[in-house]
Structure 1
Amino acid sequence: MAKVVGLGPSGSAFLLRHGRGFGVDFSRRYVKACGEAVPVETPMVEARYVVDKVRTFRFFLWDREVGEASYTKPRWYIVDKERWVESMRAGAPSAGGPYDVLVKAGGPYQSMGEKITVVRFYVEGARRPANEAVDFVFSRDAVGFYWVFPHGGVLNVGGGFLGVDNPVPHVKKFVEKWLGGGRVVDVRGAPLTVMPRVVLHDGEGFRIGEAAGLVYPLTGEGIRPGVLSAIALAEALSTKKPLEEYRRRVAPIVKQVEFQKKLLSLAVRMSERGGALLELADDGVLRDYIEENLSARTLLALLAKKPAAAARLIAALLR
């Protein structure tokens, strides 16, 4: 029997897949600020909770378009995350009692590592991106980005930046200057772990999702790794060495998290020199960014094609 603390996407998905446990959560309903987007292959996402689809990702260094990653068919789903999570909560066991496995799934409230605050607006009447497209707009003044996602009849507009405690006024200005205005109908804020310390078991219990540090630092994506880690633990608990098996199953996620932490540190150093990591990217790198498939090989291939970019990168590394 498992006791799960935290019933967001990770905790609820674990209970549904494991089937032998109960959940504890201190919020009456699930609400968390984010882009509410998941890759189409993400497990346990039912079609009835999909409110939009995305096949083009455009990247801007403020007002200058840097590149895009496009697909012939939708690559991400935009979900009504609150309804989706509430449906998983309703389907998960809720009775308490004795337990022999503790699972921590409290997201940023249980994670270890540096955090920032992100904010999400729902905006009506603003200029929309192209059909089935999202925009990532990187600031020249801070390490971080704004996002613009379709979300049914409104836009999901948000942002988060290192060193910015309250991004609300920044996102308000972004809505006015970059989107041409619009009516804000809902505002949500939440912490996000951007330099996570990966801890899969802390001596007291297992950890999944962002509570385990399984959130991607460069994109902030946490839903997919959260659900995948929940399924991995649920299945590992039926093996003879569950922790060893859990580590094996989430190893690709951990590898990507650790690599993105290094890139985020590099982005900070480049920003201090007046540059931006995004300036080094091409469409191939941006596709790897979307696919959460960044690697040293990706960077080496890019730098071989862009000697000037290589020089700027080396200068930042040697700073």
Structure 2
Amino acid sequence: MSIKKVRIFGAGPAGSSFAIEALSLLNIDSLELYDGECPYKKPCGEALLNQDMKIYDIDPPIIKEVKDFYISIEGNVIAERHYSTPIWFIIDKEEWISLMRREVIRLGGKMKCARLRPFTENGFLTIDARGPFTEEKKRRIPIARAILEGEIPYEGVLLDFDPKNVGFYWIFPSKGKKFNAGYGSLLSRKPGDSLLEYLQKIVNKPSVEEISTSIITLEYPSPDNRGGIFKIGEAAGTVFPLTGEGIRPSVYHSKEFAKKLSEGLSIEEAYLRSFRMGRMGEIERQMRSQSRILSLLSKAPNFMRKFALRLLPSFLDSYIKKGEIPFI
């Protein structure tokens, strides 16, 4: 089926990636990309795994390389990993999204700064790439992220799990001498308060520059094109439930959808295959299994959650390097 007009709502990683791929592969007459945040700003997603870096149309600007990891449960370190090569990259996400939006414009697309609910129109392929802000009621959790300075007893990344609330704290390096700290959990509704309290315990002389909140989707990928609006990326559930990683799978999904469209498939068939084929199919199966584990943990008593977390060192390398649980 020939597609001549495309309208995308949401110009983050998924929406921008789909736009670039569509403009590159499809012989379309017009592409409109809408987003209410100009410049882009979302307080999460600054860490990228050093996996599949070639999938990004625009290289993400790298702020820091991470080789050292500390894993804690309720403030007590249970495992460390120190690698000789970078395992994670901390990126300037705002600059990266800005560069991708410029590429969309360079390729002939139109970037429009407007926060709109997706709507359909005859002759248009309509894409919902608004991440967790889509209206559908997926499992979403609030998160808080702070940028701060201070003295931190760990060089690298700290992941501190909170079994009581089924979540975790993180502390990453950021620009200069600053740190990126955050918290999200299934059961805590006020992550900002919890994060500030945690930082007072962990960081010596913390100086918080800013703190902001957002939400992320913790589901598994599932096709949703109700009303003729095709959800891609995090709007379709492409976030690893046990790590919160969403950029890489969202980009995979958005690019796969555009590629399947370029093969001449119907829109519906291309959309369904974008979830099931190739690397995205492997990711979908891992996410589905992680979602089941998260559901079990949310229903388990606290002592069982702690027991499960203490198994983490046995598969920690796979968890850190790939965001995956190897035996599921």
Q: Do they superpose with TM above 0.5?
A: yes
Q: What is residue 148 of structure 1 aligned with on the other side?
A: 171
Q: Which amino acid in structure 2 is aligned with residue 79 of structure 1?
A: I
Correspondent of 2:152 among 127, 137, 147: 127
Cα pair distance change 1:99/1:70, threshold 3 Å: farther
CA contact (8 A) 2:220 2:237 kept: yes
Q: What is residue 61 of structure 2 aligned with on the other side?
A: 49
**1:195 partnered with 2:219:** yes
**TM-score normalised over the length of structure 1:** 0.85
**1:279 partnered with 2:283:** no
Q: What is residue 80 of structure 2 aligned with on the other side?
A: 68
Q: What is residue 265 of structure 1 aligned with on the other side?
A: 295
Correspondent of 1:214 among 218, 238, 251: 238
1:88-124: per-residue Cα shift (whole Å, max 9, x none)? 1122111689753111100001154111100100011
Deviates most, 55-64 or 189-198: 189-198
CA contact (8 A) 2:45 2:246 kept: no
1:213-253: per-residue Cα shift (whole Å, max 9, x none)? 11111111111111111111121111233234313332122
Offset at residue 262 of structure 1 (A) = 1.1
Cα pair distance change 1:3/1:269, threshold 3 Å: same
- Give structure 1 stretches of 5+ with no counterpart: 299-319
CA contact (8 A) 1:117 1:191 kept: yes
**1:238 partnered with 2:262:** yes
Q: What is residue 128 of structure 2 aligned with on the other side?
A: 104
Correspondent of 1:91 among 103, 113, 117: 103
Correspondent of 1:174 among 190, 195, 198: 198
Q: Output the CA distance in 2 between the equivalents of 1:29 and 1:216.
A: 26
Q: Which amino acid in structure 1 is aligned with residue 191 of structure 2?
A: P
CA contact (8 A) 1:113 1:196 kept: no
Cα pair distance change 1:281/1:255, threshold 3 Å: same
Offset at residue 48 of structure 1 (A) = 6.6
Q: Which amino acid in structure 2 is aligned with residue 121 of structure 1?
A: A
Deviates most, 260-269 or 35-44: 35-44
CA contact (8 A) 1:68 1:286 kept: no
Correspondent of 2:12 among 8, 22, 30: 8
CA contact (8 A) 1:59 1:66 kept: yes
**TM-score normalised over the length of structure 2:** 0.82
Cα pair distance change 1:69/1:29, threshold 3 Å: same
CA contact (8 A) 1:5 1:104 kept: yes
Cα pair distance change 1:197/1:76, threshold 3 Å: closer
RMSD in angstroms over aligned alpha carbons? 2.2
Q: Output the CA distance in 2 between the equivalents of 1:221 and 1:51.
A: 18
CA contact (8 A) 1:143 1:162 kept: yes
> What percent identity do the matched residue pairs reach?
29
Correspondent of 2:325 among 283, 294, 312: 294
Cα pair distance change 1:48/1:144, threshold 3 Å: closer
Aligned length: 294
CA contact (8 A) 1:113 1:197 kept: no
Deviates most, 270-279 or 172-181: 270-279
Q: Output the CA distance in 2 between the equivalents of 1:33 and 1:256.
A: 25
Q: Output the CA distance in 1 between the equivalents of 2:323 and 2:16.
A: 24
Correspondent of 1:18 among 14, 22, 26: 22
